[in-house]
Amino acid sequence: METKNIHGKIAFVAALFVTAVFVLGIKLLNPTPIQIFVNGNNVVTKQIPGFFTYTDVVILVIASLVLGISGAYLLFSVPVPAEKPAAGDAGRVILEERKKRWGELSKTLKDDERKVYETILESDGIIEQREIVEKTGLPKANVSRSLDLLESKGLAERRRRGTGNVVLLK
């Protein structure tokens, strides 16, 4: 209900903005013709460019005010869209989804693979390979073999960084 109300206000203000632009354009391009009386009887109607009557000036001022106010409203009170996760939050959402899948995946993994995968999950999906060795207490060869198996299943990926590897969840 709140968003309908906001959209209705914005539509109304946008209509005012367009109307004000239209009125200003018409009045600036076509000022009211001025009647000039010569010798009392002869009436000559002549349009003098750049010469506006008091009515024209009042209309121009009101249209300018409406244009300025409605333009400022449209510019500064654009509704904020529903909250979307920020870039960092998107990573958290993905990580939480992967943690939910953990229950299913853990059944298919062997003991060493399960320890390695769980260690990667606990470190928010990115960790250096040497840290996995330290945290799990497994030998380097077992960690390497487990990572090979996790990579073949499409669950993890190793990337070379300097003299070691960084392990990422896929």
pLDDT of residue 3: 59
Which of 16, 50, 76 is where one domain is finished?
Answer: 76
Asked whether residue 72 falls in the same domain as residue 94, the answer is no
In a domain, 116, yes or no: yes
Number of domains making up the chain: 2
42 pLDDT band (50/70/90 cuts)? low
Cα torsion for 117, 120, 126, 129, to the nearest 10°?
-80
Least trusted range by pLDDT, from 14-18, 103-107, 159-163: 103-107
**DSSP character for 85?**
-
In a domain, 102, yes or no: yes
Range of the domain at 94: 87-169
Which of 53, 67, 57, 64 is CA-nearest to residue 15?
Answer: 67
Please enumerate in sequence order all residues whose Cβ is within 8 A of that of 151, keeping only pairs 6 or more positions apart, or say none. Answer: 157, 158
Asked whether residue 53 falls in the same domain as residue 126, the answer is no
Least trusted range by pLDDT, from 45-49, 70-74, 147-151, 154-158: 45-49
pTM listed for this prediction: 0.46
Which of 117, 122, 158, 116 is CA-nearest to residue 138?
Answer: 116
- Joined together, the tokens standing for residue 95 give 């990580």
Mean pLDDT over each residue of the chain, to the nearest integer: 80
Which of 27, 45, 76 is where one domain is finished?
Answer: 76
Overall average pLDDT of the 7-18 stretch: 86
DSSP assignment string, 102-168: HHHHHHHS-HHHHHHHHHHHHTTTEEEHHHHHHHH---HHHHHHHHHHHHHTTSEEEEEETTEEEEE
pLDDT over 60 at 79, yes or no: no
